[in-house]
Structure 1
Amino acid sequence: MFVIFGAAGNVGTVSAAALRRAGRNVRAVIRDEAQGELLAKIGCEIVLADLLDTATVARAIKGAHAVQLLCPVPHAHTDPARAMRRMIDASVAALRADPPPRLLALSDYGAQHPAGTGITTLFHELETQLRTVDSQLTFLRAAEHMHNWARVLPVALARGVLPSLHHPLSKRFPSVAAQDVGTLAAELLLDDRAQPVSPRIVSIESHERVSALDVARTIGELAGRAVAAREVPRGEWDAMLQGAGLGERHARLITDLYDAHNAGRIDVEADISERRFGATTLAEVLAAIVPGVAAATVR
């Protein structure tokens, strides 16, 4: 049995589908039943679990040959870091008590740093705690997801300006398509060869690094309208993020992350030998998102 946490998400759905195509039994772990319809249609067993509840995590992993773990940042929580640490504690407790033979955790570029990276620091904490689980471990560290630009697309298309926390606008940074992460995660779970070391650390990003200027130009080309990238001044970050609905603590995690990004700390670890590159381009990801948002902005 292959157990996929976050199976209804952009990465998890791809992993679950790839494992089903490979003929494996898949248990899709989701938060509520409404998320499970499509997964059930492809033959997944559907299980509800709360990552804050060790007992439900334990039920979800019972009898698992392999587990794909996602601890998402709980955006709606007033203190997302505290809530995610509770998720990590609960999940790791269940995995220590009943360790599966194989365990893959979805992590982030920059997770090698113990502090000073905002949200990414939480993935360092996840990796640190999982090292105490008696499983064959893989950490799949992904670059910034291309799909994240969807959050600012309505503003970019309505105003013709793409706000960016990446400084300077010409700075090229790693990014990756969620579907490429999901496909690679399934491939790694299916790799039954003995690992010479545990944890096995694998990084993934797109073949081509991009800049905020590239993102703005691509959005404009897809939407058929001019879009210019704007470097949001550092002093305006907190107000902009909180104005977008983020709580103060969540906004701080984001600002700390982009301070680290702009200092060059959110990147592949220098001595990682297993580097993979996704085939999906930024234009392909945005082409699936921009038309719908563009149509909505002219109504």
Structure 2
Amino acid sequence: MHIVLGATGHVGSAVAETLLGDGENVTVVTRDEGKSKHWKDKGAQIAIADVHDVETLRTVLQGGKRLFLLNPPALPDTDTVAEERKSMLSIVSALAGSGIEKIVALSTYGAQAGDGIGDLGVLFEMEQELAKINIPTTVVRAAYYMSNWDGFLESAQKDGQIFTLYPADFKLPMVSPENIGQFAAQLLKEPIEKTGLYHIEGPAQYSPGEVAEAFSKVLGKEVETIVIPREEWVSALTNMGFSQKAGESMAAMTAVTLDEKYETTGERVKGETTINDYITQLVRTSG
């Protein structure tokens, strides 16, 4: 039995969909019972649990052998680092005595030690915590999600604009959540003793300007890139609904990427989805 955390999100749903399509037994963990019918109809088992409830989560984990671990993102109006560290430590605690035999954990490009750098710091801590326990673990560090552009579909359609903290011509590795999920599902089916560190990105690197061009092409109208200057990052984020701490963490995390202060050790994997493919599908799906 494969257990999937985060199956109601982009990546986790792709993991579950891929495993089910391969005829595997899957338990989807969710805290929202209202979202369970979709997965029941697809043949998955459902477990209702909050990741902060260590004992309940451990009981759920005892029903499976392999786990896809995705630390749930915190709401942006909270202290995201504190909330995500809390959920990560709860999940790790629940693994003790769970009987899980193999873990595939989702991390991020640029994961590194440090406070106040958002996911980069929390997910690096997660990697370190998992290394301490006696369960074979494969870590997948994913590039910038193409789905981060989903929120700009409306402004692209209505105003012909997308917004970015990066320079319009700054190219960075991006990857579709579906490609991440498909790859993680493959890793879950590998022999227990086979582990490793992987980096996954798309077939090429893309700039915000190229994202705007992709929107322009599929929408049939000009879409421009509005670049937010570095000195305005935090204020812009708080105006968008981020808490002060979350805005500062996001700004610091963006700076790490922009200044390229990270390494990509381990094996690098290329997904097939291009940014044009992704934006085209996003617009079509939105109707």
Task: Provide the TM-score with structure 2 as the length reference.
Answer: 0.94
Task: Find the residue that maps to 2:47 and give its secondary structure.
Answer: strand
Q: Specify the code of the residue in structure 1 equivalent to 2:48.
A: L
Q: Deviations over 1:219-245 (max 9, x none)?
A: 111111111112211122122111111
Q: Hey, what does 2:225 align to over in structure 1?
A: 229
Q: Hey, what does 1:165 align to over in structure 2?
A: 165
Task: Find the residue that maps to 2:51 and give its secondary structure.
Answer: coil
Matched, 1:249 2:245: yes
Mapped partners of 1:289, 1:222: distance in 2: 10
Distance 1:112 1:236, change over 3 A: closer
Unaligned runs of 5+ in 1: none
Mapped partners of 2:12, 2:90: distance in 1: 20
Matches within 5 A, 1:243-282: 243-265=239-261, 269=264, 271-272=265-266, 274-282=267-275
Task: Find the residue that maps to 2:103 and give its secondary structure.
Answer: strand
Distance 1:185 1:282, change over 3 A: same
Distance 1:260 1:229, change over 3 A: same
Unaligned runs of 5+ in 2: none
Deviates more, 1:158-167 or 1:245-254: 158-167
Query: Any conservation in 2 of the 1:155–1:161 contact (CA below 8 Å)?
Result: yes
Q: Hey, what does 2:119 align to over in structure 1?
A: 119
Task: Find the residue that maps to 1:288 and give its secondary structure.
Answer: helix
Q: Hey, what does 1:70 align to over in structure 2?
A: 70
Please, which of 206, 212, 218 is the counterpart of residue 208 of structure 2?
Answer: 212
Per the TM alignment, residue 176 of structure 1 is displaced from its structure 2 partner at its CA by: 0.3
Mapped partners of 1:62, 1:77: distance in 2: 34
Q: Hey, what does 1:85 align to over in structure 2?
A: 85
Query: Any conservation in 1 of the 2:171–2:205 contact (CA below 8 Å)?
Result: yes
TM-align CA RMSD: 1.8
Task: Find the residue that maps to 2:214 and give its secondary structure.
Answer: helix
Task: Provide the TM-score with structure 1 as the length reference.
Answer: 0.90
Mapped partners of 1:207, 1:284: distance in 2: 11
Mapped partners of 2:117, 2:82: distance in 1: 16
Distance 1:259 1:151, change over 3 A: same
Per the TM alignment, residue 43 of structure 1 is displaced from its structure 2 partner at its CA by: 0.9
Q: Hey, what does 2:235 align to over in structure 1?
A: 239
Query: Any conservation in 2 of the 1:8–1:36 contact (CA below 8 Å)?
Result: no
Q: Hey, what does 1:190 align to over in structure 2?
A: 189
Q: Hey, what does 2:5 align to over in structure 1?
A: 5
Matches within 5 A, 1:17-166: 17-76=17-76, 78-115=78-115, 117-166=117-166
Task: Find the residue that maps to 1:194 and give its secondary structure.
Answer: coil
Q: Deviations over 1:238-286 (max 9, x none)?
A: 22111111111111121111111110135x52x31x2111001111211
Q: Specify the code of the residue in structure 1 equivalent to 2:46.
A: I
Mapped partners of 1:99, 1:250: distance in 2: 35
Q: Deviations over 1:119-154 (max 9, x none)?
A: 321111111111122111011111011011012232
Query: Any conservation in 2 of the 1:176–1:205 contact (CA below 8 Å)?
Result: yes
Deviates more, 1:284-293 or 1:18-27: 284-293
Q: Deviations over 1:168-196 (max 9, x none)?
A: x212100000100010010000111632x
Q: Specify the code of the residue in structure 2 equivalent to 1:221.
A: K
Aligned residues: 287
Task: Find the residue that maps to 1:265 and give its secondary structure.
Answer: coil
Query: Any conservation in 1 of the 2:77–2:241 contact (CA below 8 Å)?
Result: no
Task: Find the residue that maps to 1:52 and give its secondary structure.
Answer: coil
